[in-house]
Amino acid sequence: MTAPPLTLEFHALGQGTRQALIDDVRAGLGRQPKELPPRWFYDERGSELFELITELPEYYQTRTEAAILRQCASDVVQRVQPRSILELGAGASTKTRLLIEAAHSSGELRWFQPFDVSDAIVQRAARDLLRDFPGLTIHAVIGDFKEHLDRIPRFGRQLVVFLGSTIGNFFPDERRSFLSAVRQLMGPEDAFLLGVDLVKDPLVLEAAYDDAQGVTAQFNLNVLSVINRELQADFDLGSFRHVACYDRENQWIEMHLRSLGNQIVHIPGAGFTAEFKEGELMRTEISAKFTRQRVDESFAQAGLRTEAWYTDREERFALALAVPEER
């Protein structure tokens, strides 16, 4: 039986997603210092704002990674010869198109598997890909990194892709768990392509997360809009200010929202009330930066080894191709 050109497999939807937000709000706002995980940035408005961020002059990451991909896509495909490309955190799959194009041209590629928490953006991207790449079959999996990676089906030799240095949003223990889960997805002939932002001048990094136009500030504040809408909270966005700073010891950027005064926020949908002091910081994201040594060590802990390393001339960003260490 011939597979349909597009299949959607849902593992995170509706009430499950709402409960996850409730749990994160209760846990994050109930601790000191307060924090919220960055996955709640990406409702429709948040996704639109992030697309604007990627076009800002300060935000070099997206265009630098795309330029590296244009240079290395053919080499990656030649090394792996994938029948399937699995993209974790796929979003609109804009950059991954470069890999799909190279693999499709080789005649080997049959499947593309976008994995993401948002079905709407995946469906839009899938329609465009099916139009542009005849014969490609798309099996989309809607789920969460922490819970559903083991639900992803396998369609032969695969290239697993995780771009955008999204891995930088994970704390070290989360990063180890994630890479171990990725290794479990992989057979002996598979490969994993990871995008990482590299350690550099802190002033360059801070500018990338605190742009002159204030788009990143809107993006950061949008997480409060999500909670207001989904959990009937009464956050006053004008009472918080975006803050981005570089932690030299941990080599990561931290984004925060600073309370501009003493205030109490009611969150009926979570059955929770949060009190903020004037000047109090609530962390909303970390974005770790990497060296080649840190990437190699992280791969080794997960049973992987670096097969190829691709970077730009200024060494601002890198793509690391890893394979199972026993290969």
Residue 249: CB partners within 8 Å, gap ≥ 6?
none
> Same domain, yes or no, for 168 and 306?
yes
Question: What is the token pair recorded at 144?
Answer: 């969460």
Angle made by CA atoms 174, 178, 184, in degrees to the nearest 5:
150
**Is 117 part of any domain?**
yes
Record the pTM. Answer: 0.92
Strands, DSSP E only, in the chain? Answer: 6-10, 84-88, 111-116, 137-142, 158-162, 191-197, 240-247, 252-259, 263-267, 272-276, 281-288, 304-311, 317-324
Q: Is the pLDDT confidence value at 11 over 80? A: no
pLDDT of 12: 57
* Residue 141 resides in a domain: yes
* Predicted confidence band of residue 14 (pLDDT cuts 50, 70, 90): very low
Residue 5 is encoded by which pair of tokens?
Answer: 């050109």
Specify whether 280 is located in the same domain as 157.
Answer: no
In a domain, 93, yes or no: yes
Q: Is the pLDDT of residue 16 over 70?
A: no
Question: pLDDT tens, 24-44?
Answer: 999 999 999 999 999 899 888
Task: Give domain status of residue 175, yes or no.
Answer: yes
Quick check: 253 and 205 in contact, CB under 8 A?
yes
Average pLDDT of the chain? 93
Is the domain of 297 the same as that of 319?
A: yes
Q: Taking every pair of C-alpha atoms in the chain, what is the biggest distance, in angstroms? A: 63
Structural domain includes residue 3 = no
Is there a single domain that holds both residue 149 and residue 277? no
* Count of structural domains, the chain: 2
Identify whether 100 is part of a domain.
Answer: yes
Residue 220 has pLDDT above 60, yes or no: yes
pLDDT of residue 150 exceeding 60: yes
Higher confidence at residue 1 or residue 193? 193
Whether 241 and 301 share a structural domain? no
Torsion of CA 126, 127, 132, 134, to 10 degrees: 90
Predicted local distance difference test score (pLDDT) of residue 90: 87
Q: What is the pLDDT of residues 119-145, one digit of tens each?
A: 778 888 888 999 999 999 999 888 887
Do residues 190 and 300 both lie within one domain?
yes
Same domain, 220 and 313: no
φ, ψ for residue 258, nearest 5 deg = -100, 130
CATH of the domain at 122: 3.40.50.150
Nearest to 81 by CA among 118, 53, 106, 47: 106
Query: Could you tell me if 122 and 37 lie in one domain?
Result: no
| pLDDT digit string, tens, across residues 158-213 | 999 999 999 999 999 999 999 999 999 999 999 999 999 999 999 999 999 999 99
Residue range(s) defining the domain that contains residue 157: 59-200+291-324
**173 and 315 co-located in one domain:** yes
* Residue 65 sits in the same domain as residue 178: yes
Higher pLDDT, 200 or 15: 200
* Statement to judge: residues 275 and 142 lie in one domain: no
Partners of residue 192 on adjacent β-strands: 160, 322
How do residues 93-104 score in pLDDT, each as one tens digit? 889 999 999 999
Give domain status of residue 211, yes or no: yes
* Average pLDDT of the residues in 63-84: 97
Q: Strand pairing partners for 321? A: 193, 308
- Classify the C-alpha dihedral 293-61-105-75 as positive or negative: negative
Percent of the chain with pLDDT over 90: 81
Predicted confidence band at 54 (pLDDT cuts at 50, 70, 90)?
very high
Query: Would residue 1 count as lying in a domain?
Result: no
| In a shared domain, residues 66 and 94 | yes
Which tokens hold the place of 280? 């109090």
